[in-house]
């Protein structure tokens, strides 16, 4: 009898000790990487508070034609603000494609220009420019097409939240009134799309919305924290939500999906993973890793054809962010990772002194490589 009781107790103790702990499930794969002695990782992790790191890594498993996600987070917190920079171009591009579906007279190949602009383009060309080299002007043309209220309302309706996109990028223009688009209907006929007037946003009330010790306003140094409360807002959770909906729409309800035509989705996915040299850009200036921070950001080598990275990066005000789905077609590896960090050692904004090349990009590249190596050995 005593032996039987002892056996039961031993079995219970073993089952308790072997039970998965919640904290391990949340962070264990990332912990091994982030606590390693790899210099490019350690340099950031030794000054973690300064760098404001947030990471979401998603394992992807397939069974019986179903796709399953398992998320692992490190310091992900939508109330802890970081500047999203050019990552906001991804949702703007997606909303523009859905808007085209609602307009019988427009399509991907429609030629247009913004009133007062000298550049004629097409929606297809704009999408390509946004992902290949993160072109600011291309993004701003889509904002003129859509208006900020349309962008934000569509995203929130699809469950991509929290989010607030209203700034044009690369220019000082806080106007919520868009410029009209001039549309070419044929070689000799044009028409004008009317302007949009969006609501003026309220200041964001988030943690770390005030950053640093000073900033430059034109040539004057202002000795006070830089206020980001009137900037764009697109946290890790929202970036991850959009990427999953685009890469795996079948995992979401019809109400949560972005209704793209087959042609639109193919053009979008192609733009997301095509490197600049394959669409005509000078590879000495726009090397493969130029807009692919994970795995290849710190090298100018070509990305192998067997590695496909569908992503959108952003870098400005010392903040680097990448949101990516990475696929190795040769070794049957696929995963997602979204990460951001701040590299502004002197605490001054707008001085163009940020440690992108020395600290930020090497960290993201190594993080991508470490996760890829982990996935190669994961059953």
In a domain, 84, yes or no: yes
Residue 6 pLDDT > 80: no
With cut-offs at 50, 70 and 90, classify the pLDDT of residue 105: confident
Q: What angle do CA 86, 90, 93 make, to 5 degrees?
A: 120
With cut-offs at 50, 70 and 90, classify the pLDDT of residue 279: very high
CB 376 within 8 A of CB 86: no
In a domain, 14, yes or no: no
Q: Mean pLDDT, the chain, as a whole number? A: 92
Of 139, 106, 114, 104, residue with least CA distance to 125: 139
In a domain, 17, yes or no: no
At 321-371, the pLDDT tens digits run 999 999 999 999 999 999 999 999 999 999 999 999 999 999 999 999 999
Whole-number pLDDT of residue 379:
74
In a domain, 310, yes or no: yes
Mean pLDDT of 177-186: 91
Residue 145 pLDDT > 50: yes
In a domain, 42, yes or no: yes
Q: Which domain holds residue 217?
A: 22-376
Distance separating alpha carbons of residues 30 and 18, to the nearest angstrom: 20
Q: For position 354, which CATH number holds? A: 3.40.710.10
Mean pLDDT of 223-228: 98
Report the domain count for the chain. Answer: 1
Whole-number pLDDT of residue 194:
86
Distance separating alpha carbons of residues 31 and 99, to the nearest angstrom: 42
Of 159, 158, 128, residue with least CA distance to 142: 128
Q: How far is CA 29 from the centre of its chain?
A: 21
CB 176 within 8 A of CB 200: yes
Distance separating alpha carbons of residues 293 and 58, to the nearest angstrom: 17
What values do phi and psi take at 187, rounded to 5? -65, -25
Residue 210: helix, strand or coil by DSSP? strand
Residue 10 pLDDT > 70: no
């Amino acid at each position: 009898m005593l032996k039987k009781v002892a056996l039961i107790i031993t079995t219970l103790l073993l089952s308790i000790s072997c039970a998965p702990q919640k904290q391990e499930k949340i962070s264990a794969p990332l912990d091994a990487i982030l606590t390693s002695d790899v210099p490019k990782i350690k340099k950031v992790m030794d000054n973690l508070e300064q760098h404001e790191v947030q990471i979401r890594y998603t394992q992807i498993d397939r069974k019986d034609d179903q796709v399953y996600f398992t998320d692992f987070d490190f310091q992900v917190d939508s109330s802890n603000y970081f500047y999203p920079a050019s990552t906001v171009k991804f949702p703007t591009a997606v909303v523009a494609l859905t808007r085209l579906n609602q307009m019988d007279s427009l399509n991907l190949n429609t030629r247009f220009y913004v009133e007062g602009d000298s550049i004629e383009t097409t929606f297809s060309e704009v999408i390509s420019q946004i992902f290949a080299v993160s072109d600011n002007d291309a993004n701003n043309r889509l904002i003129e097409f859509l208006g900020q209220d349309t962008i934000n309302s569509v995203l929130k309706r699809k469950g991509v939240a929290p989010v607030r996109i209203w700034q044009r990028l690369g220019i000082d223009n806080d106007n919520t009134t868009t410029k009209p688009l001039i549309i070419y209907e044929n070689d000799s006929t044009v028409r004008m799309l009317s302007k949009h007037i969006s609501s003026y946003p309220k200041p964001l009330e988030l943690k770390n919305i005030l950053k640093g010790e000073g900033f430059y306003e034109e040539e004057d140094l202002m000795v006070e924290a830089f206020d980001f409360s009137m900037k764009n807002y697109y946290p890790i959770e929202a970036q991850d939500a959009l990427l999953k909906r685009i890469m795996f729409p079948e995992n979401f309800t019809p109400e949560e999906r972005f209704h793209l035509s087959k042609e639109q989705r193919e053009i979008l996915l192609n733009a997301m993973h095509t490197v600049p040299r394959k669409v005509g850009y000078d590879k000495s200036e726009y090397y493969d890793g130029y807009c692919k921070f994970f795995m290849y950001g710190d090298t100018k080598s070509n990305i192998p054809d067997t590695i496909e990275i569908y992503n959108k990066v952003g870098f400005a005000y010392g903040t680097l962010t990448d949101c990516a789905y990475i696929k190795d077609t040769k070794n049957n590896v696929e995963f997602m990772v979204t990460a951001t960090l701040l590299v502004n050692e002197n605490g001054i904004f707008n001085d163009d002194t940020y440690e992108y090349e020395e600290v930020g990009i090497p960290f993201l590249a190594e993080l991508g490589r470490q996760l890829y190596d982990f996935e190669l050995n994961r059953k």
